Amino acid sequence: NKLMSSLAKMISDEVEFVQSKQKDDPDRPLSPEKMVRTMVKEYFTLIGTLSGNTRGISILNETKIFSLLVPLISSGRSDLCKV
């Protein structure tokens, strides 16, 4: 599914950015600013909805989104826990 692959890529890019400890870039899709000011936070609503059934969990596992979320949350992005 193209949407889920794109979402996985976006999360992967954010993990790489956070782990690189670069100076903040407010233009990246999952920046804290955009999480507050745009609808990008609804991607996490989608992940939550998909995680509520076996087919959704399968999709999240196939796209490795679950495994990408662990380093992202562990990196100190506490704002993502509030979404």
Which one is predicted more confidently, 48 or 81? 48
Task: Say yes or no to pLDDT of 64 above 90.
Answer: yes
Mean pLDDT of 45-66: 95
Distance from C-alpha of 7 to C-alpha of 44, rounded to nearest angstrom: 10
pLDDT for 1: 82
pLDDT interval class at 83 (50, 70, 90) = low
**b/e map 61-83, b = 16+ CB within 10 Å:** eebebeebbebbeeeebeebeee
Mean pLDDT of 30-34: 89
As a whole-number percent, the residues of the chain with pLDDT over 70 amount to: 96
